[in-house]
Structure formats: C-alpha cells, structure tokens
C-alpha cells in the first residue's frame, strides 16, 4: 500500500469536502434554474419513494411493536402499562421514525445512486452527457435530491403511523384497551414533537441524495471503484444521519426550549 | 510561453474565426506527467484531421479539451470562433450542441433504447415535435444502416453496432464539428471499413469538420485515398494523383509535442525516422 503524507491526506480530505459542498450547492441551485427535469423527478420519486415503501412499512411496524414489547415489562413494574401509547408515540415521532426511515432509505438509495452514477462515470456516460450539451448536475443530481427530500418526508409519516400501529398490536396482546392506547398516544404529542420529527427527514433526505450522488460522481477505477463508492456512500450517509440527528436534536431542544 | 504581438493576436483571431478548431501553445499535465506540451495546430472548416500517437500520447485528451470537458494548464483553444479556455461550464453547453462526439467505447446510455440514445439531443432541446424527432432518428439510423435496432438497448448490440449508433447520435443535429475517438478500435476489419465509410460519407456529403483519433494508420490512409460516391452510396478510390482533392490531414504526436502536421503526400515523404517507423509498423 502506498504511504501518503499527513499534509496530502489533509489536503485530500479538504478537497473532498469542498467538492461535496460545491456539488450540494449546485444541486440545490439548479432547482431555481431551467430546465427543471420534472419527468426525471417523478421517476426518481417513484423509485425512491414507492420503491422504499416495503422496507419502511416493515421497519416502522416492527420498531413500534418491539418498542412497546420491551418497555411493557418496565412500565408494568411501576403499574404504568397504560403509558405505553405515550412512550411509543414520543419515541417514534421524535426519534425512531425519522432516523430508522433515514437509515433504511440510505441503505437502499444512497447505494443505488452511487452505483448508478459511478457506472455512468466509468463508462464515460457522464462525459457523453456533457458532450451532448446537457448538464449532468441538472439532469441527474437535482431530480434525485428533490425526490429524496420530498419522499422521505412522507415515508417518515408512514413509518411513524405504522410504528404506532405496531405498538397498538402489542399492547392489545398485553390486554390493554386500544382506545386508551390511541388516546394517550395522541394526547402526549405537542407541536414541538411533530415539528422535530418532520424537520429531520428534510435534512436526512438531503444527506442521502447528496452523499449518494457525490460518491457516485467521484467514482474512479472501474467496477472495483464503483463497488467502493457504493459502500462508502452507505457508510457516510448512515454516519452523517446519526451525527446530524444528534446535533439537530440538541439544537432544537435549545431553540424550542423543551424536553 | 511565446508572447504574441497585437498584430499577431489580431491575425490569429481572424484565422480562429475561419477555422473550426485552433490550438495555440496548449499544455496540460496530469499529476506531474506532461501530456501535451505547448502544442499548436488548426483544423480548417470542412477538413478531417487524423491524430496519431502511441497510447498515452494525449490524443483523446485533445478531444476532451476541444469540448471543454477538461481545461488546459496553459494556452488557448478556439472552437467555432469561441475561446473555450475562458468559458464557464454553463456557457459551454451551448457550444457543445454544435459539436458531435463519438467516444472510444461508444458511451451510449445503457438504460435508454437506441431511439432514446439517438434522440437524446433533440429531446433535451425540447423544441422538436415527436414526429420530427422520430423522422430524424430514423434518418440518422438509416445513415449508419441500423434502422432495425431502434427499440433495442445498447447491451443487445455488438461493439460495431454500438459504435455506429454512437455515430448516429453524434450526427443527428448535423453538428459543425465531429470528434471521433478511436471509432474503429477493437473492431474486425469489415466493421472497421463500414465505420470508415460512414466517416468519409459524413466528410464528403455534409462537409463536416472532424478530428479523428486512431491507432490504425490504414484507416486514415483509406480516408485520404477514397471519396464517397453518392450515386453508388459507397466509398470509391480516388484516381491516381488526386489525393489532394479530399480535405484530409494527418497529425502525429510524440512526447507531448506535434511532430508532424500535413497531408498524406507530406507524410509518406517525411524523413523523420520515428514517423517512418510508425508508418512501416502499421
């Protein structure tokens, strides 16, 4: 393995961050420039949104069920089993719904974007597109970004709802009244919870699309390079989602002043 | 870098407007390796120039520089009267619409059908009706004799067929300049000859300016010694001594420099040992 000097290593990283920032900025800026590829956006929304629906449904339903099941024993010990609806509701809407949906969509779509764009780079299709007078950032990146942000928002809502349904199924098995479950789950939610839970997918969607596209466009070294880019995209997107989630949660707690 | 006086600059600018492509003292290096070192040449309108050189001599780099896909470290490149070295990426898209490019490995969009690939430029421009697009796609595919592949995907075609579809995609808007990057590389002699015939047809029928990067000297010699006969719809050999009647030039690169730039007669008469060896090896 070739050794690289610390200075070159840092320079490479700074350059990568700069390239990523430029790509992300251009992708957003293209939303306000013509042509706007609406057909490509709808196609991507279908691939990213409806394509991710099965895994989001499954993960949301099971997470809500497991959350209810795990907390039932502890709540039961204090005679507070009726609070299970509140716990699932807060947990899903504020945290688990957005994060798990983000991670699921990152695993499926950041890898998809990186491999698709990476293959296009190594087979000169991106150069061909530029040579044909089409801006790849407008045609390929912006539709993916817009579609991911838009669809992740709704996928998160679906995931939250199904998490509550999962929690309800478990609570019914534990002998809890369904009406009581839904009433407590509904009543505990305040504006800040819903706002926090629905703001996060916008950030996560941005991360998934820009990271997936960045690693795809930067792919070098043939099929091996595409494979590497795909793996790196999933890892980077997942880690960034968790890091941004932490800081965003802290920021919102301070900003909105709630616990 | 040599400096130009005001008078020289004006002359160059006038010439540049008349020529399809002008390179002036262009240099580029990739990670310390100098690929092109102060090269200058011009491609007059309507002429086809074949570029030779060993692998890694910068032939494909020249084509990418013409399109502005990469920028030179030094020098000036004028394409169709516009200085591409100073243009922003957004402005280059307009210029690129006047240039066709046939990539080494075809670079067809693998998720699109042959029809969609060939029509790509028209669909992007968005101001051509569906009927007109279909008509022009079929015309372009008829030109390369592949009209029956219109609904196929690139993966269903042979290497030679993909190369011909790439030519159809490049010519559909009748660009003023076409850049061919090893269009016959890796193909059998019969298919290579078909491709060369298409390039000659484009040169003689539509008078398109072109840069042709190739390793195969015999392809360029065929182009210099043949013309396209519209009556027979085939390439025909020129009568003896009529080689200067076809707009065909040759350029040889070595160690990042242009060591030859002239016509077929000058090439065969050259005293340069390297070029003579290059010709005899081919």
Q: Do B121 and A130 touch (CB under 8 A)?
A: no
On whether any CB of chain B is under 8 Å from the CB of A222, the answer is no
**Where in chain B does DSSP place strands (E)?**
19-30, 33-44, 48-52, 74-79, 82-83, 99-102, 177-181, 209-213, 226-229, 234-237, 248-254, 257-262
Token duo for residue A110: 């950041």
Nearest to A133 among B93, B108, B109 (CB): B93
Integer Cα distance of A137 and A141 in angstroms: 5
Nearest to B107 among A127, A134, A135 (CB): A127
User: Dihedral through CA A39, CA B119, CA B159, CA B194, nearest 10?
Assistant: 180
Q: Do A124 and B104 touch (CB under 8 A)?
A: yes
Half-sphere exposure at residue A72, Cβ-oriented, CA atoms within 13 angstroms: 18
Nearest to A131 among B67, B90, B105 (CB): B67
Q: Which residues of B touch A134 (CB under 8 A)?
A: 93, 120, 124
- Smallest Cα distance from A189 to chain B, Å: 46
ipTM above 0.90, yes or no: no
- Smallest Cα distance from A204 to chain B, Å: 28
Residues in chain B with pLDDT values less than 70: 1-17, 242-244, 281-282
Q: Which of B30, B32, B66, B69 to mutate to test the interface with A (most CBs of A within 10 A)?
A: B69
Long-range contacts of A33-38 (CB under 8 A, 24+ apart): A33/A138, A35/A138, A35/B126, A36/A142, A37/A138, A37/A139, A37/A142, A37/A143
* Whether A71 contacts A177, CB under 8 Å: no
Asked whether the bond before B218 is cis by omega within 30 degrees of 0, the reply is no
Nearest to B107 among A128, A133, A135 (CB): A128
Residues in chain A with pLDDT values less than 70: 1-2, 258-259
Q: Do A123 and B107 touch (CB under 8 A)?
A: yes
Collapsed DSSP state (helix, strand, coil) of residue B103 = strand
User: Which structural domains are found in chain B, ordered by start?
Assistant: 19-98+176-281 (3.40.50.300), 109-174 (no CATH)
| pTM for the whole structure | 0.85
Q: Which residues of A touch B93 (CB under 8 A)?
A: 130, 133-135
On whether any CB of chain B is under 8 Å from the CB of A53, the answer is no
Q: Do A135 and B93 touch (CB under 8 A)?
A: yes
Half-sphere exposure at residue B232, Cβ-oriented, CA atoms within 13 angstroms: 8
Q: Which of B31, B89, B93 to mutate to test the interface with A (most CBs of A within 10 A)?
A: B93
Query: What pLDDT, on a 0 to 100 scale, did the predictor assign at position B243?
Result: 64
Between positions 65 and 124 of A, the ones with CB within 8 A of B are: 119-120, 123-124
On whether any CB of chain B is under 8 Å from the CB of A127, the answer is yes
Query: What pLDDT, on a 0 to 100 scale, did the predictor assign at position A62?
Result: 96
**What chain A residue is nearest to B178 in terms of C-alpha separation?**
A131
**What chain B residue is nearest to A123 in terms of C-alpha separation?**
B107
* Whether B194 contacts B160, CB under 8 Å: yes
Q: Do A131 and B69 touch (CB under 8 A)?
A: yes
First to last CA, chain B: 35
Query: What pLDDT, on a 0 to 100 scale, did the predictor assign at position A227?
Result: 93
Q: Which residues of A touch B124 (CB under 8 A)?
A: 132-134
Q: Which residues of A touch B103 (CB under 8 A)?
A: 124, 127-128, 131
Q: Do B124 and A128 touch (CB under 8 A)?
A: no
Integer Cα distance of A197 and A167 in angstroms: 18
For chain A, which residues make up each domain, given as ranges?
Answer: 36-256
B165's CB contacts (< 8 A; 6+ apart) are B106, B108, B114, B117, B118, B141, B144, B146, B149, B154, B157
B88: how many CB neighbours lie within 10 A of its CB? 8
On whether any CB of chain B is under 8 Å from the CB of A134, the answer is yes
Q: Do B110 and A133 touch (CB under 8 A)?
A: no
**pLDDT, tens digit, 9 for 90 and up, residues A13-34:** 999 999 999 999 999 999 998 8
Q: Do A125 and B96 touch (CB under 8 A)?
A: no
DSSP A30-46: GGGSSPP-HHHHHHHHI
């Amino acid at each position: 393995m070739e050794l690289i000097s610390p200075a070159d290593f840092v320079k490479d990283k700074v350059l990568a961050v700069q390239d990523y920032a430029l790509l992300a900025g251009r992708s957003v800026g293209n939303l306000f420039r013509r042509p706007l590829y609406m057909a490509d956006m709808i196609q991507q929304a279908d691939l990213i949104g409806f394509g991710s629906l099965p895994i989001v449904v499954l993960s949301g339903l099971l997470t809500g069920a497991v959350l209810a099941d795990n907390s039932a024993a502890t709540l039961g010990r204090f005679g507070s089993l009726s609070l299970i609806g509140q716990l699932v509701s807060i947990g899903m809407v504020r945290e688990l719904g957005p994060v798990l949906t983000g991670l699921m969509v990152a695993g499926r779509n950041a890898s998809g974007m990186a491999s698709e764009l990476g293959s296009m780079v190594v087979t000169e299709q991106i150069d061909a597109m530029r040579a044909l007078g089409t801006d790849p950032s407008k045609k390929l990146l912006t539709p993916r970004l817009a579609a991911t942000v838009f669809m992740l928002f709704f996928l998160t809502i679906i995931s939250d709802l199904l998490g509550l349904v999962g929690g309800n199924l478990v609570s019914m098995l534990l002998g809890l009244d369904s009406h009581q479950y839904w009433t407590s789950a509904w009543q505990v939610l305040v504006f800040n919870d819903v706002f926090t839970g629905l703001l996060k997918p916008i950030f996560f969607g941005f991360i998934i699309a820009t990271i997936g596209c960045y690693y795809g466009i930067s792919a070098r070294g043939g099929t091996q390079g595409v494979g590497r880019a795909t793996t790196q995209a999933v890892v980077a997107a997942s880690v960034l989602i968790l890091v941004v989630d932490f800081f965003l949660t802290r920021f919102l707690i301070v900003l909105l002043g709630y616990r | 870098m040599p400096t130009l006086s005001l008078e020289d600059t004006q002359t160059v600018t006038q010439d540049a407007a008349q020529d399809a492509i002008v390179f002036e003292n262009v240099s580029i290096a990739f990670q310390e390796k100098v690929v092109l070192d102060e090269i200058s040449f011009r491609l007059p309108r309507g002429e086809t120039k074949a570029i030779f050189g060993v692998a890694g001599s910068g032939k494909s780099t020249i084509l990418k520089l013409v399109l502005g896909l990469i920028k030179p470290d030094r020098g000036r490149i004028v394409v169709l009267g516009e200085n591409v070295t100073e243009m922003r990426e957004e402005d280059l898209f307009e210029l690129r619409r006047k240039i066709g490019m046939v990539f080494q490995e075809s670079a067809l969009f693998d998720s699109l059908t042959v029809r969609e690939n060939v029509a790509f430029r028209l669909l992007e421009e968005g101001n051509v009706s569906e009927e007109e697009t279909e008509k022009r796609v079929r015309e372009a595919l008829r030109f390369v004799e592949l009209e029956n592949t219109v609904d196929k995907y690139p993966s269903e075609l042979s290497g030679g067929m993909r190369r011909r579809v790439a030519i159809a995609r490049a010519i559909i808007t009748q660009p003023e300049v076409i850049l061919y990057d090893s269009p016959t590389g890796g193909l059998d002699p019969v298919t290579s000859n078909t491709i060369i015939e298409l390039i000659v047809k484009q040169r003689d029928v539509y008078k398109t300016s072109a840069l042709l990067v190739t390793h195969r000297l015999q392809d360029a010699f065929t182009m210099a010694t043949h013309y396209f006969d519209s009556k027979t719809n085939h390439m025909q050999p020129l009568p003896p001594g009529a080689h200067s009647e076809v707009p065909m030039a040759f350029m040889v690169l070595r160690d990042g420099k242009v060591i030859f730039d002239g016509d077929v007669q000058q090439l065969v008469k050259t005293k340069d040992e390297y070029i003579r060896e290059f010709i005899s090896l081919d």
